[in-house]
Amino acid sequence: MHTTNVTTPFGRRSMTLGMLANQVMAGEIKPDQSVGKWKLFRALCEAKPLLGIGDRALAVLNALLSFYPKNELAQGNDLIVFPSNIQLSLRTHGMAEQTVRRHLAALVGAGLLVRKDSPNGKRYVRRDRTGEVDEAFGFSLAPLLARAEEIEQLAAEVMAERLHVQRLRERITLCRRDIAKLIEAAVEEEIPGDWQGLYREFRDLIEGLPRSPTVAQLELLLDELEVQRAGILNRLEIRIKSTKQSGNADYIERHIQNSKPESFIEFEPSFETKRGAKAEQDNDRGVVTPEKGRGEAEQSRQSGGRNDGGGLKSFPLGLVLQACPEILAYGPDGVIRNWRDLMAAAVIVRSMLGVSPSAYEEAANVMGPENAATVMACILERGGHINSAGGYLRGLTRRSEKGEFAIGPMLMALLRAHGEGRLKVG
């Protein structure tokens, strides 16, 4: 059977030069050319934006290929399939016949199929006495075989562009993070400069990006962000060089003074447990009993303890640092001098431990910013025993909302673990 014969459409459909060109192209198949039909279909799925076809048209083409009995499309094979619209509807999971016809026309128009209409417009096959196909009327898959190399090349281009866009987005995300954190660090360190203006400029760049940007728009945004990041880094490096000190003795001395504030360990802070809690469960959690809590609460009030957000008591900074010395390494210059330094270090630790910004923000709202930073320091200290720092922090936040959590026992447990939990009596 000759699949290269030119055929005109049945009924009212008119013949066009495009249809003729597709039929001529379908006849230009190399003698030993062959391709796996499902491999070619996967390439078609990748190349669909460049071929001008949609998902539904591909579903119809998938159904047509399923009627082709062999896995390889080859020139010597009969490349015509002849299922009825009812059969195609069933294999496209109930797609309406009118929709099937519309997508068949789209596939023909895209040059992926060629119609071979019978005299009455029906699709059927005529076989010889041996059962072999003598002549068939339906859709020829020859254009797929003829355009196999082109389709695979288009698919490769689409995949390369997708990878390029993915990498552009990754680099833009890194640039955004760098710029935001560098500006935040500059503000925290009170470095002179119009940091608010820079931040507004940064936000204008981000918000000016369309919802579905082109590759050119992403490349332009990345270039602008990289220029802004380089400018900020240059300012900070100049500041670092201008304030660099000749020695480290002062830093070491301040580190020792802030790391071991002996005057703060004059009491063991505690709290009152929620009514109805079992003493055994409290002991397992490191929580004191109500009777002991009332006595120690009075002792804590005399020693200067105070309540912060969420009804939680906030403890002296020196006590927190003595219980959680590991967080010192994340403070400015390896030193934590005040609560602001501790909260800045807690933000770094949050990111390092994989705690989401929303989880930390929720904890700060419920517990208070100082207590949230203290809890992050405790989580860092016990990092080897906690599988999910973010989940653990959210759990503590929920318990704090219900009045079932306090920081005192957690700090005391860490102090005892360091051998520094003894009370100074008298």
Q: Please report, for residues 15, 170, 204, 226, the alpha-carbon distance to residue 167 in angstroms, rounded to integers and kept in the order given.
A: 46, 5, 22, 15
Determine the Cα–Cα distance for residues 197 and 312; give it in Å rounded to an integer.
Answer: 37
Per the prediction, the chain carries an average pLDDT of 76
pLDDT digits (tens, 9 = 90+) for 195-205: 888 888 999 98
Contact 346, 372 (CB under 8 A): yes
Q: How confident is the model at residue 388 (pLDDT cuts 50, 70, 90)?
A: confident
pLDDT for residue 241: 80
Residue 267 has pLDDT above 50, yes or no: no
Count the neighbouring beta carbons within 10 Å of the beta carbon of residue 245.
9
Sign of the dihedral defined by the CA atoms of residues 43, 49, 51, 55, in that order? positive
Q: What pLDDT digit, counting tens, does each position of 86-126 carry?
A: 999 999 999 999 999 999 989 988 889 888 877 666 776 77
Task: State the pLDDT at residue 247.
Answer: 41
Q: What is the pLDDT of residue 5?
A: 60
pLDDT digits over 293-351, tens only? Answer: 333 333 433 333 455 545 677 788 888 999 999 999 888 878 898 998 899 889 888 88
- pLDDT, residue 77, reads 64
Check whether 229 has a pLDDT greater than 70. yes
